[in-house]
């Protein structure tokens, strides 16, 4: 060795056989590592290596592990050089601390070959195997440091790292756990923070005497609050803390809060009991609002008329906040905080017209029971009664039965004689029975119905009259061939009647009956004349019906000469009897009024041959009938001509006879040959 070498360092692992000598040659700037096998008589250097590290660089510290597999060298300029043994030592990794190296500590008991470098700027922990990993690092820091850092140190088991500042020490615990788990950390992940805790009491109650128990890993502290603000120091990221509050006042709840400052430096509340909270992040602050003790309140609700049976769902509100909605139960139990509160009971939405709203103040200092009787809303109700055909013709009794009494159903009753005297009443919301009983049951039918009184109402009831059986028969001088609809007071009560009698139901009183022919019979029959019938019991009535009458004009002619005094006899083909007779006038015309029907017409005259024909009279008609003179008539009519002809014949005969006589008396003519 040259006399100029410096920083001689001799190291050997616990189980190594050979030592290692390290030194720096300032003339060449080389770091030398020499393995020194020993015998009984001498030291024989072996496997020397030289590694250039630069001029004016000194060896600060060197270390190895129990098996000698690695050698860690710390240089004065802050560089760390790690050599791995593989026959001889080979440079594996260089790490720069960026400032003067103060110390180098090997941690032999942690897996992965761990060592700690302490520089003038900070501390770094390294795992060497399987490759070099600095534990404390991020994008901007090469080591663990704090503002104002001046020095640091580490315990031999790596459980604690201490960073010295000008006015304080920062202690980082459980570093060995982070290294064993292969974590990569920054000081921001580890450094404790201060968190302000503000405890507010309800209603501005005095906080003096309130106990605060602060629980952390491994212990707890107890303090008595003077005011409502407490500063919690050294809150480590990633660690859960619990604060228990025990108020001095018995009517304020004890509460508990568990929180954590996450590793991303966000303050979160994990759980809270009997309080509500607010969290602020910059600076860290938790506001904890305690609350009054909630006492049990048992509420019993009854209806003034129906007792425990409620007729509409209810809402229960405490200080205008609904705690029970749309409930038909009459008993409820709930919690209410200590103090003075406003209790409101009101009908649920859609049932506002059932009950009056109930409101009262509650002083809650202990559990209590409240009974409330609700009053129903009252409404004006007017009941009028009319006859289905108009005004009443007989008095009736009107009765309204329901919850109109103090606690049990009551009856309102009055006698109504005309619609101008209704039953007036003011009744509570509910279901009622309205009954109308006629004083004369032979006139009106009793009537009853259920009423839901949910608002003011004017009720008009139209009573029906008692109906009786009326047997209706139809009569006519001719056979009844038409079908009718039977009307009573302009209302049809029977259809397609006429030949047979019919039984109809007619109301008490005066009924105007009429038979109106149906469409297919309108040509044959007219409506009957109205018949007025007083119906007071079962009865019968006969309605005369007729056929429509049409004009039949018959003209009798001989050639174009009218024939007067022709006897016309009309026979009903339906009855087979003569219906009427008439004579033609000087114009040979006879006008007959005949009911609808089928007739045989016979025309007779002494001078003419009798003629007949059949005709259906279903409208006004005119018939021309030509009559033939009788043989006698013809003889008398041509008698003068016949007499002249006979006279001429007689003269001819006489002349012929005279001529014959004369011929006989004349001599025969001589014949000349």
**Could you report the per-residue pLDDT of 195-240, keeping only the tens digit for each?**
999 999 998 899 999 999 999 988 899 999 999 999 998 888 888 9
Position with higher pLDDT, 306 vs 75: 75
Separation between Cα atoms, residue 261 and residue 242, nearest integer Å: 12
Last residue of a domain, one of 544, 559, 584: 544
Least confident of 49-63, 595-609, 653-667: 653-667
Q: Is residue 663 part of a domain?
A: no
What proportion of the chain, given as a percentage, has pLDDT over 70?
92
Q: Is residue 556 part of a domain?
A: yes
Separation between Cα atoms, residue 132 and residue 85, nearest integer Å: 15
Query: Which band of pLDDT confidence, cut at 50, 70 and 90, is reported for residue 264?
Result: confident
Which residue is it, tokens 């409330």? 372
539 pLDDT higher than 90: yes
393 pLDDT higher than 50: yes
3-state secondary structure 563-598: CCCCEEEEEECCCCEEEEEEECCCCCEEEEEEECEE
Average pLDDT over residues 128-151: 78
Q: What is the mean pLDDT of the chain?
A: 87
pLDDT for res 38: 66
Q: Is residue 647 part of a domain?
A: no
CATH of the domain at 619: 2.60.40.1120
Whether residue 214 is found in the same domain as residue 75: no
Query: Which band of pLDDT confidence, cut at 50, 70 and 90, is reported for residue 389?
Result: confident
Burial tier of 180 (Cβ tally within 10 Å: 0-12, 13-18, 19+) = middle
Whether residue 135 is found in the same domain as residue 167: yes
40 pLDDT higher than 70: no
Max Cα separation, the chain? 245
Choose among 484, 460, 459: nearest CA to 472. 484
pLDDT for res 87: 66
Last residue of a domain, one of 353, 374, 395: 374
Whether residue 250 is found in the same domain as residue 320: no
Position with higher pLDDT, 568 vs 113: 568
Last residue of a domain, one of 374, 405, 434: 374
pLDDT for res 41: 58
Burial tier of 166 (Cβ tally within 10 Å: 0-12, 13-18, 19+) = exposed
Evaluate the CA torsion angle 24, 25, 29, 33 in order and state its sign: negative
Query: Which band of pLDDT confidence, cut at 50, 70 and 90, is reported for residue 667?
Result: low
What proportion of the chain, given as a percentage, has pLDDT over 90?
45
Separation between Cα atoms, residue 301 and residue 173, nearest integer Å: 64
Separation between Cα atoms, residue 240 and residue 468, nearest integer Å: 95
pLDDT for res 187: 66
Separation between Cα atoms, residue 299 and residue 293, nearest integer Å: 19
405 pLDDT higher than 60: no
Q: Is residue 641 part of a domain?
A: no
**Could you report the per-residue pLDDT of 471-500, keeping only the tens digit for each?**
999 999 889 999 999 999 999 999 999 888
458 pLDDT higher than 50: yes
Whether residue 177 is found in the same domain as residue 205: no
Whether residue 152 is found in the same domain as residue 17: yes
Q: Is residue 655 part of a domain?
A: no
Distance of CA 293 to the CA centre of its chain: 39
304 pLDDT higher than 90: no
Cβ–Cβ under 8 Å, residues 13 and 68:
yes
Q: Domains in the chain: how many in total?
A: 6
User: 3-state SS of the chain: helix, strand, coil percent to 5?
Assistant: 5, 55, 35
Which residue is it, tokens 């006015």? 167
Which run of H or of E encompasses 556? strand 549-558
Cβ–Cβ under 8 Å, residues 9 and 62:
yes
Whether residue 30 is found in the same domain as residue 179: yes
Instruction: State the Cα angle at 646 between 641 and 647, rounded to 5°.
Output: 100
| Residues spanned by the domain of 72 | 6-186
Average pLDDT over residues 24-33: 88
Position with higher pLDDT, 391 vs 469: 469
CATH of the domain at 124: 2.130.10.10
Query: Which band of pLDDT confidence, cut at 50, 70 and 90, is reported for residue 407?
Result: very low
Whether residue 10 is found in the same domain as residue 108: yes
Least confident of 218-222, 381-385, 607-611, 660-664: 660-664
Contacts of 122 (CB under 8 A, 6+ apart): 97, 136, 141, 142, 143, 144, 145, 149, 152, 163
Average pLDDT over residues 89-115: 84
Whether residue 420 is found in the same domain as residue 531: no
Position with higher pLDDT, 115 vs 187: 115
pLDDT for res 278: 95
- Both tokens of residue 165? 């500042």
467 pLDDT higher than 50: yes
Choose among 85, 20, 79, 16: nearest CA to 52. 79
Q: What does the radius of gyration of the chain's CA atoms come to, in whole angstroms?
A: 69
110 pLDDT higher than 90: no
Instruction: End-to-end CA distance of the chain: give it in Å, rounded.
Output: 239
454 pLDDT higher than 50: yes
670 pLDDT higher than 60: no
Q: Is residue 656 part of a domain?
A: no
CATH of the domain at 342: 2.60.40.10
- Both tokens of residue 237? 């990221």
Separation between Cα atoms, residue 456 and residue 427, nearest integer Å: 9
Contacts of 255 (CB under 8 A, 6+ apart): 244, 245, 272, 273, 274, 275, 288, 290, 291
Whether residue 19 is found in the same domain as residue 128: yes
pLDDT for res 164: 92
- Both tokens of residue 373? 């009787």
Evaluate the CA torsion angle 645, 648, 653, 654 in order and state its sign: positive
Task: Render 221-280 in DSSP notation, one character per residue.
Answer: EEEE-SSSEEEEEEE-TT-EEEEEEE-SSTTB--EEEEEEE-TTS-EEEEEEESEEEEEE
pLDDT for res 406: 43
Most confident of 5-9, 101-105, 275-279, 556-560: 275-279
Query: Which band of pLDDT confidence, cut at 50, 70 and 90, is reported for residue 90?
Result: confident
Q: Is residue 1 part of a domain?
A: no
pLDDT for res 497: 92
Q: Is residue 657 part of a domain?
A: no
Average pLDDT over residues 453-473: 92
Whether residue 526 is found in the same domain as residue 455: no
Whether residue 18 is found in the same domain as residue 66: yes
Separation between Cα atoms, residue 615 and residue 623, nearest integer Å: 9
Whether residue 393 is found in the same domain as residue 425: yes
pLDDT for res 408: 44
pLDDT for res 314: 96
Average pLDDT over residues 83-95: 82
Cβ–Cβ under 8 Å, residues 49 and 35:
no
669 pLDDT higher than 70: no
Query: Which band of pLDDT confidence, cut at 50, 70 and 90, is reported for residue 176?
Result: confident
């Amino acid at each position: 060795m040259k006399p100029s070498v410096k920083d001689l360092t001799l190291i050997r692992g616990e189980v190594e056989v050979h030592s290692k000598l390290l030194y720096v040659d300032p003339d060449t700037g080389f770091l030398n590592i020499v393995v020194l096998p020993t015998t009984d008589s001498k030291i024989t250097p072996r496997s020397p290596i030289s590694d250039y590290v630069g001029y004016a660089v000194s060896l600060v510290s060197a270390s190895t592990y129990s098996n000698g597999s690695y050698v860690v060298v710390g240089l004065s300029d802050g560089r760390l050089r790690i050599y791995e043994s593989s026959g001889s030592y080979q440079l594996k990794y260089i790490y720069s601390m960026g400032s003067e190296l103060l110390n180098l500590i090997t941690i032999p008991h942690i897996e992965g070959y761990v060592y700690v470098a302490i520089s003038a700027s900070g501390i770094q922990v390294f795992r060497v195997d399987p490759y070099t990993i600095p534990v404390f690092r991020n994008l901007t820091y090469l080591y663990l440091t704090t503002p104002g850092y001046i020095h640091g140190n580490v315990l031999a088991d790596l459980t604690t790292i201490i960073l010295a500042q000008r006015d304080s020490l920062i202690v980082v615990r459980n570093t060995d756990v982070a290294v064993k788990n292969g974590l990569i950390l920054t000081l921001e992940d580890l450094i404790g923070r201060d968190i302000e805790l503000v405890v507010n009491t309800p209603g501005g109650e005095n906080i003096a005497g309130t106990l605060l128990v602060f629980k952390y890993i491994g212990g707890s502290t107890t303090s008595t609050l003077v005011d409502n603000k407490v500063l919690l120091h050294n809150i480590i990221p990633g660690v859960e803390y619990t604060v228990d509050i025990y108020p001095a006042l018995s009517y304020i709840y004890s509460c508990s809060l568990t929180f954590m400052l996450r590793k991303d430096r966000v303050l979160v509340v994990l759980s809270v009991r009997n309080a509500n909270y607010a969290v602020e992040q910059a600076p860290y602050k938790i506001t904890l609002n305690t609350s009054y003790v909630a006492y049990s309140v048992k509420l019993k609700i009854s209806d003034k008329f129906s007792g425990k049976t409620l007729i509409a769902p209810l809402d229960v509100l405490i200080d205008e906040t609904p705690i029970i909605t749309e409930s038909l139960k009459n008993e409820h139990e709930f919690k209410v905080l200590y103090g003075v509160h406003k209790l409101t009971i009101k009908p649920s939405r859609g049932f506002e017209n059932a009950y009056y709203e109930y409101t009262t103040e509650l002083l809650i200092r202990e559990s209590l029971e409240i009974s409330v009787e609700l009053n129903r809303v009252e409404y004006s109700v007017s009941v009028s009664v009319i006859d289905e055909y108009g005004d009443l013709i007989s008095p009736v009794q009107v009765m309204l039965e329901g919850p109109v009494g103090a606690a049990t159903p009551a009856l309102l009753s009055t006698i109504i004689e005309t619609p101008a005297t209704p039953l007036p009443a003011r009744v509570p919301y509910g279901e009622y029975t309205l009954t109308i009983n006629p004083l004369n049951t032979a006139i009106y039918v009793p009537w009853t119905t259920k009423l839901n009184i949910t608002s003011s109402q004017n009720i008009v009831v139209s009573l029906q009259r008692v109906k009786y059986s009326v047997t209706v028969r139809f009569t006519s001088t001719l056979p009844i061939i038409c079908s009718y609809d039977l009307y009573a007071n302009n209302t049809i009560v029977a259809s397609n009647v006429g030949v047979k009698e019919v039984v109809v139901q007619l109301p008490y009183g005066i009924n105007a009956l009429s038979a109106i022919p149906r469409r297919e019979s309108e040509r044959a029959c007219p409506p009957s004349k109205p018949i007025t019938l007083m119906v007071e019991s079962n009865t019968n009535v006969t309605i005369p019906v007729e056929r429509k009458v049409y004009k039949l004009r018959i003209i009798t002619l001989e050639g174009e000469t009218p024939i007067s005094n022709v006897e016309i006899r009309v026979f009903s083909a339906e009855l087979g009897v003569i219906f009427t007779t008439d004579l033609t006038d000087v114009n040979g015309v006879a006008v007959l009024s005949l009911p609808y029907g089928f007739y045989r017409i016979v025309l007779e005259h002494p001078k003419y041959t009798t003629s007949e024909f059949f005709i259906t009279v279903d409208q006004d008609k005119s018939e021309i009938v030509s009559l033939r003179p009788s043989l006698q008539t013809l003889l008398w009519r041509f008698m003068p001509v016949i007499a002249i002809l006979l006279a001429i014949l007689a003269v001819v005969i006489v002349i012929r006879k005279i001529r014959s006589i004369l011929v006989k008396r004349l001599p025969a003519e001589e014949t000349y040959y």
